[in-house]
Amino acid sequence: MLEVYEINTKEEFEAALPVMIDAYTKPFNTLYETIKGPSDDEFVTRFWHWHTADPGSQWIGVRKKDGDKATVGVAEWVLHESNPFEQGNPLPPVDWWSDVYTQNVTEQVVSTFFGGRPKVMSRPHVLLNICCVAPDARRQGAGRLLMNWGRSLADQKGLETFIEATIDGVRLYESTGFTQVEPIILDAKLPEKFKGEDDKKAWLEARHRVLPRPFPVMLMWRPKGADWKEGDEFHFLESG
């Protein structure tokens, strides 16, 4: 049996980190790899700071009710009761990588992933920012519990919901009331400043390490107050 719990302290978040590491390396996830950076400790501190700086952010976990009560899944839901981009869309400085080559690749990934949000999310909504389940706990109900928590929040607030889903997650999200909107391809191009022979080699090595191939994600959407069902009229653009 599984249960949902709220992650309310940095210590609880740190304790759940192994689930994220396991989940996002099986299979490999470029977005996680670039944003996590090389240090687990720095990642925990930075992500917890981002969480506490956003009053709408809530991390939740799913754990076993019995035995060791091990956490098997985590998610971050973010509630925006007004337009979060009224003051623009400042992207986080990519200062968690020390080498300029991996930093540049990450900056391009971050710009593509976060830069498109104002186009579709400049209105009140709920966002599933992160959702993952440990590989050995998949297809046992943990993902659905994480999703139901956020769907309930969205319905209580009367808001639509967004996800930028990995391809592996699309089936779960469709089964919980979301529909596909458009693909987003995360990629990076060699910049002019790194076209010298040595710089180019170092940049390509960095790219291969964290972005071995273009990484697709799917923008998904759930309308206000109800699950999307096949055959429903698509009012995504008019929903705000």
CA 51/CA 161 separation, integer angstroms: 19
Please say whether the beta carbons of 72 and 139 come within 8 A.
Answer: no
Helical (H) or strand (E) element with 184: strand 179-186
Q: Say whether 52 sits in a helix, a strand or coil.
A: helix
CA distance readout (Å), 108 to 27, 40, 64, 161, 236: 22, 22, 38, 26, 27
Q: In 71-124, where do the E strands start and end?
A: 71-80
CA 17/CA 132 separation, integer angstroms: 11
Average pLDDT value for the chain: 93
Indicate the pTM of the whole model: 0.93
Q: What is the mean pLDDT of residues 16-25?
A: 93
Residue 225 — very low, low, confident or very high, per pLDDT cuts 50/70/90? confident
What are 63-113's pLDDT values in tens digits? 998 878 899 999 999 999 999 999 888 888 999 999 999 999 999 999 999
What are 107-164's pLDDT values in tens digits? 999 999 999 999 999 999 999 999 999 999 999 999 999 999 999 999 999 999 999 9
| Fold for the domain defined by 2-222 | Aminopeptidase (3.40.630)
pLDDT at res. 229: 79
Please say whether the beta carbons of 75 and 150 come within 8 A.
Answer: yes
For CA atoms 18, 19, 25, 28, give the dihedral sign: negative
pLDDT at res. 28: 93
4 CB-contact burial (10 Å; exposed 0-12 / middle 13-18 / buried 19+): middle
pLDDT at res. 218: 97
Q: What is the mean pLDDT of residues 180-184?
A: 95
CA 84/CA 12 separation, integer angstroms: 27
